[in-house]
């Protein structure tokens, strides 16, 4: 598992093989740099603790190492999520400047540090472009000459010439690799063209074969008609049998048409369901802007003319604002409900302890305002879609806080059990509970068990929870009693077939 995670750490999403190679090489260099910096920090702090190093130099080493570590992290993110070229340029500049100013100026111009400054020259051809090695050699030479001029040190002209010689070597070695990649691209293009040509020829052969089949079927049909006519002339006694056979064929054909119609109805029903869900998504999405304008202008009307109209008009405006707010919340929840299941799940290994802590951090304001006490037992690692699992936990925890007992501060307990096939997560609270008579309505869309004046909401949250759990192949249920608190349970299978989930979501 760790090897797989390390490979994922190194990989960068790119289609070009040369970009993939450079990006992966850059990540390897970043990983090595990070390891070296961590080792330097550890050794430096041990030396400081035992008095081996000068405290001022030791603190400076820690600051420089921390800065380089932060730079390595930022360069990795830049490489993975934005541009490998930009990340390579930043890395090379940081490495060159860090190596040059990481030692005494004299050592960087004439001493031991001149050897390490050859590293960014070779790295430039490896992760950026081969001809850029000369630019890096010029940059390092310029740093050396400028520093020598400022500090009144004799400039190292020979070192600059050597740097350009190293750049020539880096250019030659990188050039051969780039030419090999160009040849590989040409080979791939030739193979693609060959496949396209053969596919076109195969299509032509298939069309020709289909035409031959049609002609053969037509000939066979004509032969059958001639045979039937011959039988009618020479064997009148078979007329009744033939009529019976024709009737049987009609019945078979009728049955076939019935089966075709039934299949078409099933497909139409599936298409209708998909269109209905798409309509709900589009309608809820397109209604947001007009409704926002209604609410905005009504609030503006309320702000400017409140008190200038009669009491009934003010009350009507309040009704409009309140209704528009509830309608906006309803549309937002409907849009969220229609989005669940519209895409294939992006499964990943998730530490549920970390994810729950993240959700609790997002709900920290609500938790503080309600005075809720939350106990989290050790939770497992599981495989699920991070975004929808986060939404599931947020909905359940928000409900546990919202539907609190009027005389008690919320107390929420999160735990987990597992079997051979699945994980079972439990979220228990001491809230108002749910009456058994409402058990069948809890997970239905738009089903509210309380009035809007008492508890805000649209009645979609638990329906979304059920849809998320079902998309993962699990189940969700609850145990509760009126005034006795509620415990919601949901299961996540340990093995989820990604291909099957993608097909099911695509069908929906």
- State the CATH number of the domain containing residue 440: 3.30.565.10
Identify the domain boundary among 162, 190, 218: 190
Please give the full DSSP string across 100-116, using - where no structure is assigned: HHTS-HHHHHTSTHHHH
Residues 358 and 313 in one domain: no
Residue written as token pair 């990943």: 348
Residues 321 and 353 in one domain: no
Q: Which helix (H) or strand (E) holds 414?
A: strand 411-418
CB burial class (10 A; 0-12, 13-18, 19+) of residue 190? exposed
Residues 286 and 182 in one domain: no
Residues 375 and 497 in one domain: yes
Whether residue 78 is contained in a domain is answered as: yes
> How would residue 445 be classed by pLDDT, with cut points 50, 70 and 90?
low
Residues 107 and 130 in one domain: yes
Looking at residue 102, what is its pLDDT? 65
C-alpha closest to that of 146 among 102, 101, 90: 101
The overall average pLDDT reported for the chain is: 77
Whether residue 260 is contained in a domain is answered as: no
**Do the Cβ atoms of 114 and 138 come closer than 8 Å?**
no
Least confident of 29-38, 255-264, 418-427, 460-469: 29-38
Residues 185 and 56 in one domain: yes
Whether residue 207 is contained in a domain is answered as: no
Please give the full DSSP string across 6-75, using - where no structure is assigned: HHHHH----SSHHHHHHHHHHHHHHHHHHHHHHHHHHHHHHHHHTT-S-HHHHHHHHHHHHHHHHHHHHH
C-alpha–C-alpha distance, residues 262 and 402, integer Å: 48
Residues 353 and 309 in one domain: no
Cβ atoms < 10 Å from Cβ of 86? 12
C-alpha–C-alpha distance, residues 228 and 234, integer Å: 10
Whether residue 234 is contained in a domain is answered as: no
**Do the Cβ atoms of 383 and 496 come closer than 8 Å?**
yes
C-alpha–C-alpha distance, residues 131 and 133, integer Å: 5
Tell me, yes or no, if the pTM score tops 0.75. Answer: no
Handedness of CA 445, 446, 447, 453 (dihedral sign): positive
Please report, rounded to a whole number, the percentage of residues in the chain having pLDDT higher than 70. Answer: 69
Residues 82 and 171 in one domain: yes
- At residue 151, the 3 state secondary structure works out as coil
**Do the Cβ atoms of 25 and 174 come closer than 8 Å?**
no
**Do the Cβ atoms of 102 and 113 come closer than 8 Å?**
yes
Handedness of CA 344, 354, 403, 320 (dihedral sign): negative
Least confident of 91-95, 111-115, 249-253: 111-115
Could you tell me which residues are beta bridge partners of residue 347?
385
Residues 356 and 501 in one domain: yes
Per residue in 137-181, pLDDT (tens digit) is 888 788 778 877 788 787 777 777 777 877 777 777 766 666 666
> How would residue 14 be classed by pLDDT, with cut points 50, 70 and 90?
low
Q: How far is CA 482 from the centre of its chain?
A: 40
Q: By residue range, what is the domain housing residue 454?
A: 347-507
252 half-sphere exposure, CB direction, 13 A CA radius: 6
pLDDT above 80: residue 415: yes
Whether residue 209 is contained in a domain is answered as: no
Split into its structural domains, the chain has a count of 3
Identify the domain boundary among 295, 315, 339: 339
Instruction: Sort strands 381-385 and 411-418 into parallel, antiparallel or unpaired.
Output: unpaired
What does the angle CA 399 – CA 437 – CA 434 come to, to the nearest 5 degrees? 25
Residue written as token pair 């509760």: 480
**What average pLDDT score do residues 354-359 get?**
95
Residues 359 and 324 in one domain: no
Identify the domain boundary among 141, 160, 190: 190
Looking at residue 426, what is its pLDDT? 96
Per residue in 270-320, pLDDT (tens digit) is 565 565 556 555 555 566 567 666 667 677 766 776 667 677 676 767 767
Residues 438 and 295 in one domain: no
Whether residue 248 is contained in a domain is answered as: no
Looking at residue 277, what is its pLDDT? 59
Whether residue 211 is contained in a domain is answered as: no
**Do the Cβ atoms of 484 and 403 come closer than 8 Å?**
no
**Do the Cβ atoms of 429 and 400 come closer than 8 Å?**
yes
Looking at residue 451, what is its pLDDT? 42
C-alpha–C-alpha distance, residues 383 and 471, integer Å: 13
Q: Find the helix packing angle between 17-49 and 157-234, rounded to 10°.
A: 130
**Do the Cβ atoms of 418 and 385 come closer than 8 Å?**
no
Whether residue 51 is contained in a domain is answered as: yes
Q: Measuring CA to CA, how many Å separate 72 from each of 3, 42, 58, 146, 246?
A: 21, 18, 21, 27, 82
Residues 368 and 434 in one domain: yes
> How would residue 384 be classed by pLDDT, with cut points 50, 70 and 90?
very high
């Amino acid at each position: 598992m760790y090897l797989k995670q390390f490979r994922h750490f190194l990989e960068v999403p790119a289609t070009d093989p040369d970009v993939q190679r450079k990006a992966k090489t850059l990540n390897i260099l970043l990983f090595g740099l990070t390891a070296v910096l961590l080792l330097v920090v550890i050794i430096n702090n041990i030396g400081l603790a035992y008095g081996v190093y000068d405290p001022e130099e030791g603190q400076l080493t820690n600051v420089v190492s921390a800065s380089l570590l932060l730079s390595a992290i930022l360069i990795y993110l830049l490489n993975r999520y934005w541009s490998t070229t930009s990340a390579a340029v930043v890395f090379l500049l940081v490495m060159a400047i860090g190596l040059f100013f990481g030692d005494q100026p004299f050592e960087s111009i004439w001493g031991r540090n001149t050897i390490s400054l050859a590293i960014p020259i070779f790295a430039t051809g490896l992760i950026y472009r081969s001809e850029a090695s000369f630019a890096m050699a010029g940059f390092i030479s310029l740093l050396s000459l400028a520093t020598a001029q400022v500090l009144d040190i004799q400039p190292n002209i020979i070192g600059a010439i050597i740097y350009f010689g190293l750049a020539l070597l880096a250019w030659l070695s990188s050039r051969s690799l780039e030419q090999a990649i160009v040849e590989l691209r040409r080979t791939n293009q030739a193979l693609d063209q060959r496949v396209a040509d053969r596919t076109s020829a195969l299509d032509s052969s298939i069309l020709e074969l289909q035409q031959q089949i049609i002609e053969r079927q037509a000939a066979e049909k004509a032969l059958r008609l001639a045979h039937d006519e011959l039988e009618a002339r020479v064997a009148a006694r078979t007329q009744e049998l033939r009529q019976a056979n024709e009737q049987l064929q009609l019945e078979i054909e009728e049955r076939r048409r019935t089966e075709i119609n039934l299949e078409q109805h099933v497909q139409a029903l599936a298409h209708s369901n998909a269109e209905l869900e798409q309509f709900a998504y589009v309608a809820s999405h397109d209604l947001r802007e007009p409704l926002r304008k209604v609410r905005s202008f009504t609030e503006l009307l309320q702000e400017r003319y409140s008190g200038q109209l009669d009491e009934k008009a003010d009350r009507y405006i309040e009704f409009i604002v309140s209704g528009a707010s509830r309608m906006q919340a309803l549309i937002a929840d409907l849009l969220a409900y229609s989005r669940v299941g519209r895409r294939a799940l992006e499964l990943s290994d998730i530490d549920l302890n970390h994810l729950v802590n993240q959700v609790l951090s997002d709900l920290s304001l609500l938790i503080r305002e309600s005075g809720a006490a939350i106990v989290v037992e050790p939770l497992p690692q599981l495989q699920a879609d991070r975004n929808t699992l986060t939404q599931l936990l947020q909905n359940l925890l928000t409900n546990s806080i919202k539907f609190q007992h009027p005389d008690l501060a919320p107390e929420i307990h999160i735990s987990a059990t597992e079997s051979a096939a699945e994980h079972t997560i439990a979220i228990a609270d001491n809230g108002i509970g749910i009456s058994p008579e409402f058990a069948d309505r809890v997970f239905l869309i738009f089903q509210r068990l309380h009035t809007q004046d008492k508890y805000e909401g649209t009645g979609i949250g638990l329906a979304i929870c059920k849809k998320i759990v079902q998309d993962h192949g699990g189940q969700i249920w609850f145990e509760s009693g009126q005034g006795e608190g509620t415990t919601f349970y949901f299961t996540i299978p340990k093995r989820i077939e990604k291909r099957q989930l993608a097909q099911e979501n695509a069908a929906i």
